[in-house]
């Protein structure tokens, strides 16, 4: 039997709810340790213990995190920001060698998620419906001439998050201007339909998807879901199940999907807790509990679709006041 189930949450930022959920699930069987590079990250102060650490791109950062793991007998580690997922995945075995389970997909899978064009290629090559994407603007212009795609379209960074530097464009002149000013851009079809999000957990032991929570996005802010309503659709459950098994994801992921003219199209994947995860949790899809089961060497049962449809999430602001002498 594992003597503790201590969990380390990296780059916790403003994700207070995630820390709270893990604390509630552990219920005395372990502690939640949190880190951030800012002592003004509010989620730090929800944890049982916290550390203010260097920025992840500074020399020696990985050694600091490994040291925290050893000092606190950590059993599982996860990050809430994209760049750090690659770091953890790349050094997975260094964590596993000291008894820590990194809750993250393999490095090549994580990297594919952060390269939108590579993800498009994978989806297309494996027969999954997806959003037409181009890195060759001349090929795009030819497809416009042929009537395969039409304006408006989105121009966005091949690698990027939080909806930063995304432009909706309506002409060749606008595309030429953006491509002349910025590197590593891609052109993506404008999906005139309904946007959905899926919170998915792939068991770390069985490698089987065991939870899928679907929500229709009603309002977005800075790339995150602000308001949403839970939905169920067996055909979408199957599409997501087939996709995550084909690409061999592990742990918690967040999938973006569009529905246009009755058909679903997979868009992007965040291989971590998505910003709208609290909707899933409050509806009974308990991913922290599933992670803790895996740390305990227990395989989770399939609970795909085990939640009520028609529940609404509405985010609102809260504040935290702390007296701190750090920094």
CB atoms within 10 A of CB 167: 15
Give the model's pLDDT for residue 1.
47
CATH number, domain at 34?
Answer: 3.40.50.20
Condensed to tens digits (0 to 9), the pLDDT of residues 67-79 reads 999 999 999 999 9
Mean pLDDT of 170-193: 94
Is the Cβ–Cβ distance between 78 and 89 less than 8 Å? no
pLDDT at 225: 84
Which pairing describes strands 7-10 and 32-36: parallel, antiparallel, or unpaired?
parallel
- pLDDT for 23 beyond 60: yes
Do residues 200 and 300 share a domain? yes
In this prediction, residue 166 carries a pLDDT of: 83
The verdict on residue 182 lying in a domain is: yes
15 is in which domain, residue-wise? 7-104
The pLDDT > 90 percentage for the chain reads 90
Does residue 235 sit in the same domain as residue 272? yes
Which of these, 256, 270, 271, lies nearest to 154 by C-alpha position?
A: 256
* Domain containing residue 293: CATH number: 3.30.470.20
Residues present in the chain in total: 327
- Is 229 a residue whose pLDDT tops 90? yes
Q: Contact at 8 Å (CB) between 292 and 5?
A: yes
Q: What pLDDT, on a 0 to 100 scale, did the predictor assign at position 3?
A: 65
For residue 110, is it within any domain?
no
Cα–Cα distance, 204 to 249 (Å, whole number):
9
The whole-number pLDDT of residue 325 equals: 67
Quote the percentage of the chain above a pLDDT of 70.
96
The answer on pLDDT for 324 being more than 90 is no
φ, ψ for residue 172, nearest 5 deg: -65, -35
| 281-309 average pLDDT score | 97
Region 41-59: mean pLDDT is: 97
Q: What is the pLDDT of residues 142-164, one digit of tens each?
A: 999 999 999 999 999 998 765 56
Is it the case that residue 60 has pLDDT exceeding 80? yes
Q: How far, in Å, CA of 198 to CA of 254, rounded?
A: 6
Q: Is residue 252 part of a domain?
A: yes
As a whole number of angstroms, the distance between CA 312 and CA 322 comes to 31
Mean pLDDT of 303-325: 90
For residue 257, give the 3-state DSSP assignment.
strand
Our count of domains for the chain comes to 3
What is the pLDDT at residue 101? 98
Q: Measured in Å, how far apart are the chain's first and last C-alpha atoms?
A: 40
**CATH code, domain with 176:** 3.30.1490.20
Q: In the predicted model, what is the mean pLDDT of the chain?
A: 94
């Amino acid at each position: 039997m594992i003597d503790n189930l201590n969990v380390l949450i990296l780059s916790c930022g403003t994700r207070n709810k995630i820390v709270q959920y893990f604390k509630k699930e552990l219920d005395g069987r372990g502690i939640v340790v949190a880190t951030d590079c800012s002592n003004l990250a509010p989620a730090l102060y929800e944890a049982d213990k916290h550390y203010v650490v260097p920025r992840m791109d500074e020399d020696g950062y990985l050694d600091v995190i490994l040291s925290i793991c050893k000092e606190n007998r950590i059993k599982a580690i996860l990050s809430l920001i994209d760049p750090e997922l690659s770091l953890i995945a790349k050094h997975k075995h260094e964590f596993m060698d000291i008894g820590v389970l990194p809750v993250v997909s393999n490095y090549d899978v994580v990297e594919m998620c952060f390269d939108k064009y590579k993800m498009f290629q994978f989806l297309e090559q494996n027969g999954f419906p997806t959003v037409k994407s181009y890195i060759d603007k001349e090929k795009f212009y030819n497809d416009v001439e042929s009537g395969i795609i039409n304006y408006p379209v989105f121009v966005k960074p091949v690698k990027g998050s939080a909806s930063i530097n995304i432009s909706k464009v309506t002409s060749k002149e606008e595309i030429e201007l953006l491509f002349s000013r910025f590197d590593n851009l891609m052109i993506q079809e404008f999906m005139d339909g309904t946007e959905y999000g899926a919170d998915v957990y792939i068991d770390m032991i069985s490698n089987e998807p065991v939870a899928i929570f679907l929500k229709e996005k009603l309002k977005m802010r800075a790339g995150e879901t602000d308001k949403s309503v839970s939905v169920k659709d067996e055909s979408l459950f199957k599409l997501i199940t087939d996709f995550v098994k084909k690409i061999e994801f592990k742990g918690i992921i967040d999938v973006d999907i569009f529905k246009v003219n009755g058909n679903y199209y997979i868009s992007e994947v965040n291989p971590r807790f998505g910003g709208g995860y609290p909707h899933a949790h409050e509806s009974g899809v308990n991913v922290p509990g599933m992670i803790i089961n895996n740390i305990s060497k227990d395989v989770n049962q399939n609970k795909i679709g085990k939640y009520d449809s028609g529940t609404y999430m509405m985010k609102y602001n809260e504040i935290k006041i702390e007296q701190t002498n750090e920094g």
